[in-house]
Structure formats: structure tokens, C-alpha cells
Structure 1
Amino acid sequence: MHLNASARTPLLRTRPRTLLLVLTGVLALVGGLLLAWPGRAGAAADPLISRGRPATASSAEDSSLAAANAFDGSATTRWASAEGKDPQWIRVDLGAGATVTRVRLTWEAAYAKAYRVEVSEDGATWTTLAEESAGNGATDDWTGLTGKGRYLRIHGTARGTTYGYSLFEAEVYGTPGGGPPPAGAFTVVAAGDIAAQCTASDSGCAHPKTAALARQINPKFYLTMGDNQYDDARIADFRAYYDKTWGAFKARTHPVPGNHETYDPAGALAGYKAYFGSIAYPQGKSYYSFDEANWHFIALDSNSFDQKAQTDWLKADLAANTKPCVAAYWHHPLYSSGGHGNDPVSKPVWKLLYGAKADLVLNGHDHHYERFAPQDPDGKATASGIVEIVGGMGGAEPYPIEEVQPNSQKRISGQYGVLKLEFTDSGYGWTYVGSDGQVKDTSPKYSCH
């Protein structure tokens, strides 16, 4: 059933007896509607499953009218497409397969006259759930839907005005998990190079935006890949900047230090250690490991890769590990196409990880996003190699791509964002989500070695 809040009801022109019969029928219909209406008292209404989920669109009128605004729960923010162009679309990633039963659209003045509500398992092949050919704006509430998929899309084919398409809110209701989730599945958000010395009052300040995105994704936990606080990582700066944004989920964060954490005049890592405490030193050192489901995570301090104590610890940690999947993260990347370039300080660690059949390495330092094909420590592409991601776009000023390295598959500079990593008991994949909520890159799916 499709209810449109802006629809006009025609006048009833009929004789009294007929009018009575009509009114009786209307009351019965209204009663039926109330019984079926989602969210009524006593009803087992399906939950809202789209709030805060990553969204993308065919276009945006400007950066303040991004796709994510249509899924943020605010009645005052909105998505708006480019003006005067058909078709246009907006889609949301529900995170996993879901059964969709209701879609509620709150249009701005620039509404769709014709559009389709579509669902997809893979974001490529779409099935139509509902179709409008004579829309008149305001609120469209599609109920009684039956569709399954991970992605939902509103595909506008004809504008109702000379402008574009604009939605205050697109709400998707249904049952999460249209099928059983992969065994041991969990989500992680990761980023490096985060808190510049600025706050949300500065429109150009990026780390409040990436923090808001990271919080919306609501992962199992967060990883930071160093340079958490600029410029000298003093405790006063951590409290004034990082703590106001990414600090909101500090208790669920597993950090590592970067080179800027070593610049503190009070001593290398002094402010970092004072701020994070046992969160960053759970095993008494600036490097540590922990397990989640079938995965072993290793947090390393690349400022001290030349110290035998850390490499000895890593050898022992890898030898003791019983998990079949291994991910490691630190600040300085062995391979990078950015301004800092390749950093050989990481090569001995790569050799140890490669020998232990590790799967994934996450780094920061260069302020861009980049993913590499599986490779060995010498940079030779091989299926048995380690996948490396540079994710240094958490909030510090972007660096340009300078010299593209072999095996580099994708590079993005200038767009702040976070890594949204999806882990299962047997593999992993990820998306790079921009601070505007739009997915900028999607990785291949990898199996653990």
C-alpha cells in the first residue's frame, strides 16, 4: 500500500443513504489501516534499519547536500541531486542482507514525479519493490513491501520541478539479516592521521566529520594508525581536539602511535600515553595484540622498529597465535604512492608477518587512501602475499599522489574518510567511505591464508 501525505481527497457527491454506506466503508478501511500501520501501539513493527548507514548518490548539488543527510535522522538536513538532470538516484548500504517491508520518503520541494524503489544483493543487479508514476511530493510511505537485499535505492526518472531531486529523509524498515550472517562477522572502522588543531566551529575542520561518520557506522571497535593528534601530541592538545571528536569512542579504540606522538616536549609518547593509558598499553608496551572471533590483531609501534625488543616480542606473539586470520597495523607503510613514499623501516616486520601467513596490514603516515594487491615484502605480486591499505585520511591535510607504486590498485587523495572493514571467520573486505557518507572505493573479497 502506498500512502502519500500530499494526496488530495476528492469531494463525495452522493445521496444520504449511499453516503452512510460509504462512511461505514471508510471507517472499516481506517480501522484496517490502523491495525496494519507500522509503529502502532501493540503492533510488532519492523525496526528502522537505514539510520546512519553509508549512502551514496549519482550526484549532489554541493558538499553540504550529500547523500548521508537523507539517512541521518534529522528533519532539517537533506540530500539534493544536481539540478535539471534525469535520471538520478540515491542508495543506502544496509550493511548485510535484509528483508525490507517499508520505505518512507520525506521529499523537499524538489520532489520526484516518477521513481522506483529498488533493492539489490550486490549493488549491481536491482529488483523493483515499488514504482511511482504520478508523485506529488511531501511524504510517500510504501508499506507491505517484500524485498531482500543489502542495498536499497531510490531511482528517480522524472523530476516534479525544474530543480533536481531532494530528500529530507529516506527511512528503510525491515528485518536485518535476510539470511544468516557469515560466521564470526564483525565490522571495524580504521583511520590514521586524525586530529588537526581545529574544532567543529571551523567549517574546514575534518576530524569532527570523520568522527561523526565513524560513530554512525557503529563498528565492533575502532583502530587508529598513528598521528592521532597534531602537531606535537601534547596531552593538552589531545584533550582540546581529539577528545572532542574521536575521543567519544575512546573506550572502544585500539590505537597505535605515529611520528607526531614522538614530538611531545614532555617526552616521546608522553601525551599519547597519558591520554590513552592502558587502552594503548594493555600489555605494558606501546605494542600489543588482541583477538576477535577468528582474527588475531597486532598493534605495532613503527617508531621503534629498529629495537630488538619489539621484533622479539612479535616473533613470540606470532608463534603463540592460534587464530587462522592475522591483521597488523602501524603508522609507517612499507609501500606508498604518497609524499612520504616507501618506508623500508617496516620491511623486517613485513618479513616476519609474511612468514606467518598474515593477511592484512593497515598503515597511515601518508594522508591519502590507497590499496595494494597482495604482495611479498619485496613488492612482488603473489596470491600468498599481504594486502596493504594506507588509510591516512582521518582529518589531517591531504597529501597528493606523487609516484604510483607497483601493485597499487586504487588511490584517492583529497577526500577525508574512514575504512569500513568487514571481517568473517574466513575472510575480509572493506569500503572506503568519505566524510560525506558516500562510498568511494570497494575492495575485492579476500580469503584468509
Structure 2
Amino acid sequence: MRLYASAPPRRTTAPTLLLTALAAALLLVGGLLVFAPDRAAAADPLLSRGKPATASSIEDTGFEPAKAFDGDPATRWASTEGVDPQWIRVDLGAPVTVSRVKLLWEVAYAESYRVEISADGSTWTRLAAETAGNGGTDDWTGLTGKGRYLRVYGTERGTPYGYSLYEVEVYGTPDTTTPPTTPPPTTTPPGTGAFTVVAAGDIAAQCTASSSSCAHPKTAAQAQRINPRFYVTMGDNQYDDARLSDYRNYYDKTWGAFKAKTRPVPGNHETYDPAGPLVGYKSYFGALAYPQGEPYYSYDEGNWHFIALDSNSFDDPDQIQWLKDDLARTTKGCVAAYFHHPLYSSGGHGNDPVSKPVWDILYGAKADLVLNGHDHHYERFAPQDPAGRAAPDGIVEIVGGMGGAEPYPIETVQPNSQKRISGTYGVLKLDFTDTTYTWQYVGTDGQVKDSGPTYTCH
């Protein structure tokens, strides 16, 4: 079934389209057959050729989104394989009234997708929707959408591959009734957008500064001295059962000093609350931990998109679908995610396969960085894929579970592990720019215990 905004579209396969085009192009003039331009195209000018394009992902070099707007039927955009949803969008340069959108699919086509339009590149209105696509050429006519940005948003692949389009052609006329808008930047201008984040997991043991062996007052003091843009916690913020009373008696006395600038996620100890899973956690952090109504959320800073996840419920299909949709929506050039359970760890808990499906999604979206806790040590990994193979385009994982809980020893060193520190409490100081990131592991004595390489965003 096909849904559409106004008049139903004309759909043709590639061979039919060619014959139709030839027939339309032949005119009898003075007894001779001559070629004439497509009258429909002449009536509704092609607006999208050569315009700036972006996409949710690309399969590899040579399949960039601009290839779908270059007028060359031999080139194409291709998304990463095996991940839904995916999208491609074009900036038409000024407000227009779109009357026609023509899509020429490669073998990797969409079974379900939407054609959407937006005035600002943020809020989208559906022009048309396909729920039973079969590839070939889709020619949507009789449209009346107004906006500057148009995107094709694929929600279900028709093949095991990704999404791939030889051409996206947008026809229409300038919209003189809508004032021009300033396009939202797809990246922060070079040289700007630098900021610092402090991160740690496994923080507040049931002790206070009155005990010299209590570590979380010391990590909090070091975190506050760094004075970052904001703070990230990677779960197990409060031990042992994360009751609200424990949050108030321990965490709040130390890390609570910068609570308003903290963006937390829960760990497994937050699920042990006798009042119910995450009850104390939610009561203490409130909207800071539930800004979008769930214990998972996302936000932007500079050219970075941050995704905070609840790894206690990675089997929740709603969270997994939200993650896919969230990654498809972002236009930021760099992506970092954080959650409690690490897929790879050389510590006592070791590798946790519960995070594998999320890694698959993040890797497919070309995410850059993952931060975890759970194991009480510091560890950094070289870029790797979800299968644990070293990969230049892989995700960098950092385990930062030294926020105050009792340290765990290093047990089984994992492939791609580059540095491990156990027994030294501290925090991660992460430095971001619009195109790069690096970090230091800073001990409670203020000394740098390890420095990471500088990586460029994918």
C-alpha cells in the first residue's frame, strides 16, 4: 500500500521509464522526428542537481551522499549495510514548493521509506510514504510540499544490504511566500567547538570524607578542579543498593556538588533498590536522568552527539528502536555513547555480550567513542569492530570505573587493550573539538596517569 499527501504518484520501472522518456522526446517537425525536452521536467525545474547533501552513513569512500545528486547514473550513495533506519537529505538552498520527487534505486532498495520536507532541517513533514517498495524507479508526482530541505528516510530495507540510490531528483518552483532561513550548520566551523568533559563510573561507596580510605570525595574534588563543560557518570553511581537515602548520604555529599551539570546513566546497582529498579536513581536525579521521559536520552555539544543508554535493559526493543532513530536523526559529525556494561574488558567482570547488539548499531552508524564502567579499573582500547577485531574505522572504548568503588584486579587481557590501570582512583578528562577527541586519566593526586591518542571523528 502507498500513502501520499495529495495526488497519487506515477511509478515506473527503469525500462518503462526509458521508453516513456523516448516517446515523450520525439516530435514530428516538418516531416522529421526530432528530440524535445521532457515537458513535465521543463514545467517543474530540477532543483536538486549539485546541491549539498548529507546522509546518516556511507558504506565506504566513493558512495558519498553527493553522488545521488550529481546527475551521473553510474554513481550512487550507499548507506552502511544491515542497519535501519537510514536517510539521505539535500539542502535546496532556498524555500521551494516541491511538486515531484524521483528516486532511482540501486539493487539495495527500501521496502519502506518516507519522503519528507523541512523548512529548517529539524522539523520534518511527510510528503509521501512507501510501505511495499520493490526497487527500480519511484516517481512521486502531484506533491505540494514547501521547505528548503528534503530527505528520503528509509525505515525497512528490501535486501540484506543497506540503502542505495543512483539519483534523487527534486522538482519544483521557488516559494516566494516563505522567507529564507539560515541553514543549520552540519559541523561546527573549524577551530571552534572545543570543550572538556569529566567522566567516571562506579562512584559512591557508603563512606564519607571522615574516612581517609574513602575515595569518592577525592575523585569528586579532582573532577571539580578540572571544571569541565559537564560531567558524565557511567553507572553504579551509588552503592550498594542505590536507595534515595544512600544517594543523599553519600553521593550527594561529594559528586552532588555539581549535580546540575551531570548527565548520568544507571548501572546494575541502581536496579537493586528495594523500592524498585531505578527508583532511588530517578528520585535523586529527576529530569537530569530522564530528560526525554526514559532512562536513555541524547544531547548535542558542539559538533558532538552524545547518547546516554541504560544497559540494564538492552533487551528492551523500545530502547533499541529509539537508538536507531536517534542515530538516524543526528546531523552531528561525531558520536559518543556511554553506558554501564562494557562489551570488552580485561577486569573481573570481563566481556559483557549484553552490549553487542548496541555496538552493532553504533558501529553501523560510524560512532567514534564508547565510555563504560562496571569493572573497577581504567582501560583503553584501540579502535575495534563489534567482533573485537582491530579496525581503523572502529569504535574506541574506554572503561572508567575508578570513581570511588573498591578496585578490581586485571584478570584476562583482551585483544586491542592498549593500557590498563587498577588500584589508582581517578577520573577521565576528555577533550573534544569539532573534529577530534583525546583524553587523560587523572589520578586523585592531580597527576596524569595515562594519555590517549588524538583521534579524528569518522
Q: State if a TM-score over 0.5 links the two structures.
A: yes
Q: How does 1:285-304 map to 2 (within 5 A)?
A: 285-304=294-313
* 3-state SS of 2:205 partner: coil
Residue of structure 1 in register with 2:260 after alignment: 251
Aligned to 1:267: 276
Q: Deviations over 1:156-202 (max 9, x none)?
A: xxxxxxxxxxxxxxxxxxxxxxxxx9421000000000000000000
Report the counterpart of residue 92 of structure 2 in structure 1. Answer: none
For 1:389 and 1:302, the matched residues in 2 are separated by: 16
User: Match of 2:219, as an amino acid?
Assistant: T
Q: What residue is the counterpart of 2:168 in the other structure?
A: none
Q: Does 2:328 align with 1:339?
A: no
Q: Residues 241-294 of structure 1, C-alpha deviation per residue, up to 9 Å, x if partnerless?
A: 000000000000000000000000000000000000000000000000000000
In the alignment, what sits opposite 2:433?
A: 424
Amino acid of the residue matched to residue 378 of structure 1? Answer: A
> Of 210, 221, 224, which aligns to 1:215?
224
Pairwise mapping of residues 195-234 of structure 1 onto structure 2 (< 5 A)?
195-234=204-243
> Which residue is 1:313 aligned to?
322
Q: 2:423 aligns with which of 403, 414, 420?
A: 414
- Distance in 2 (CA, whole Å) between partners of 1:360 and 1:252 is 21
**Structure 2 residue 191 is matched with structure 1 residue 191:** no
**Structure 2 Cα separation of the partners of residues 204 and 290 of structure 1:** 36
1:354 to partner: Cα distance: 0.3
Give the share of equivalent positions with the same residue, in percent: 80
CA distance in 2, matches of 1:182, 1:317: 27
- The SS at the match of 1:251 is helix
SS of the equivalent of 2:358 reads helix
Match of 2:35 in 1: none
What whole-Å deviation, never above 9, does each CA across 1:216-250 have from its counterpart, x for those lacking one? 00000000000000000000000000000000000
Counterpart Cα distance in 2 of 1:184 and 1:236: 39
Question: For residues 187 and 444 of structure 1, what CA distance do their matches in structure 2 show?
Answer: 16
Q: Which amino acid aligns with 1:380?
A: R
**Aligned AA (2:382):** A
Residue-by-residue CA offset, 1:395-418 (whole Å, 9 max, x unaligned)? 000000000000000000000000
**d(CA) in 2 for partners of 1:250 and 1:383?**
36
| Cα separation, 2, equivalents of 1:426 and 1:330 | 23
Matched residue, 2:121: none
Q: How does 1:19-38 map to 2 (within 5 A)?
A: none
TM-score normalised by L of structure 2 = 0.59
Q: Kindly provide the amino acid, as one letter, of the partner of residue 238 in structure 1.
A: Y
- Deviation track 1:351-390 (CA, whole Å, cap 9, x = no partner) reads 0000000000000000000000000000000110000000
Distance between the aligned counterparts of 1:182 and 1:266, measured in 2? 49
1:405 corresponds to which of 406, 414, 417:
414
Cα distance in 1, alignment partners of residues 435 and 446 from structure 2: 28
Number of equivalences? 270
| Aligned pair partner of 1:361 in 339, 356, 370 | 370
AA in 2 matched with 1:395: G
Partner letter of residue 313 of structure 2?
Answer: S
**In structure 2, what residue type is equivalent to 1:301?**
D
Give the 3-state SS of the residue equivalent to 1:286 in structure 2.
coil
Letter in 1 for 2:246: D
Normalising to structure 1: TM-score of the pair?
0.60
Report the counterpart of residue 371 of structure 1 in structure 2: 380
Superposed counterparts of 1:60-209, under 5 Å: 182-209=191-218
Taking only aligned residues, the RMSD between alpha carbons, in angstroms, comes to: 1.1
> What residue identity is the alignment partner of 2:410?
I
Distance 1:431 1:182, change over 3 A: farther
Are 1:325 and 2:347 counterparts?
no
**Separation of aligned partners in 2, 1:361 and 1:380:** 16
